[in-house]
Structure 1
């Protein structure tokens, strides 16, 4: 009887040892399969109090050369369901003003900052000047990133729906997805784009096509996004200049870092209720 028990015990040990590597391999493969999906990797970042840092540069592309005229830096904050706040500062390259269309330059200032919490935006700088003694203008249903936002990165891959749209349409080569999407299709899935401007997009703008190249890291999280689209989407294009395009290069760093974006002090804020135009 003791020999039988010993034999069963030995067999159990052997089965355990034999099964463990297979189980470990299965677990590793499952982990890799999950990590191979950028949308899944992004959703894992949706933890309250964490976020990502962003920087981007906007360039006007012409036959005669390229002009980089706007730089932004900032951060996005996440909650369990996705992005809940952003803090973005845009700086205009004033030396480039004579070389860019008036439609671009007219709504840009040397520097502006936008804090957005939920759907409420706080602007500092830009065309809207607060009254004396105030620093910020509060808009209950404001723009995603202030007046500079429409001339900056219009594609927000920190939104799961937007990232999915790009991954679905893009052709993958290594860790880079390249493809195109219309402004209209992007507007349907992206709250960021829907609130990028105070003016409703025209039918022509919705039909315009935006090209993209998105590179993800080994962790499948976005690292670099380059988009370009016709400058006609921003108006002010005169005959002979229809070939102008805008290109925006964005870098994402510090995924999972602590981010805590707060509203400005109430004593520094004045409230406006400007309606959406168009």
Structure 2
């Protein structure tokens, strides 16, 4: 496992060196990120984001998945999310490209289309409703598991993190995230280890709002299998449009089902 973590750290460091800088480290320290985040919690407002997911194996990375999405806020935090996932750009070598998927989550109820559910829908239906569903399709397990739009999650990361200007670096674990983050628990409903280490690098803007987040974690934290040894996920999230109007609604009831069809063998 030490070798796995070392490979993850090396690959992530290389990605950070080659990536375009978001802000100069010499600038004045930003505002308190947690306070800045809470100031955004206005009903009907939100933020948009994009994810770029990389699969790392033996220190080498390959594009795995791309996602776009939005969070809608209420007075207490996130009330809804809308995420669409597609094959990552330049991921021609991926042997199992994902079926495009979209998940709308309102409260704890999710509506999913495509992806895992694409060949299981009854005739005339296109959305699967789960009253306690995931934040994304199964590919979401291999995506951004850390949600810095949650105050408790953000505060947990910043506690003990190293700050350099507008950038915070550090690590956490699956277990710590499970305690503070409803997003993590819904995104990864199963896991093999609470001790899996998640490293992170968070950059905030002058107002203290999250601008860019890079995390990485070993896949053996999800699946305890020798086939995943030496493999990890690196997820880069960029946030844009803090404070813009976001309205996320459930799909038309006529297109929604709560029952899936087993078409295996057909």
Tell me if TM exceeds 0.5: yes
- Using the size of structure 1 for normalisation, the TM-score is 0.77
Aligned pair partner of 1:151 in 139, 142, 150:
142
Runs of 4+ with >4 A deviation: none
Structure 2: 5+ residue runs without aligned partners?
1-27, 261-266
Structure 1: 5+ residue runs without aligned partners?
1-31, 99-104, 274-278
Offset of residue 132 of structure 1: 1.3
Higher helix share goes to which structure? 1
Say if 2:143 and 2:233, in contact at 8 Å, map to a contact too. Answer: no
Matching of residues 199-238 of structure 1 within 5 Å: 199=190, 201-202=191-192, 205-235=193-223, 237-238=225-226
CA distance in 2, matches of 1:176, 1:41: 15
Secondary structure at 1:206's aligned position in 2?
Answer: coil
Backbone CA RMSD of aligned residues = 2.0
Matching of residues 106-125 of structure 1 within 5 Å: 109-125=98-114
- The number of aligned residues is 229
Pick 1 or 2: higher relative contact order, CA cutoff 8 A, min separation 6: 2
Offset of residue 272 of structure 1: 4.2
CA distance in 1, matches of 2:236, 2:124: 37
CA distance in 1, matches of 2:189, 2:250: 21
Secondary structure at 2:40's aligned position in 1?
Answer: coil
Secondary structure at 2:94's aligned position in 1?
Answer: helix
Offset of residue 149 of structure 1: 1.5
Offset of residue 185 of structure 1: 0.5
- Does residue 238 of structure 2 align to residue 247 of structure 1? no
Bigger radius of gyration, 1 or 2? 1
Offset of residue 66 of structure 1: 1.2
Say if 2:145 and 2:188, in contact at 8 Å, map to a contact too. Answer: no
Matching of residues 57-72 of structure 1 within 5 Å: 57-63=52-58, 65-72=60-67
CA distance in 2, matches of 1:206, 1:189: 13
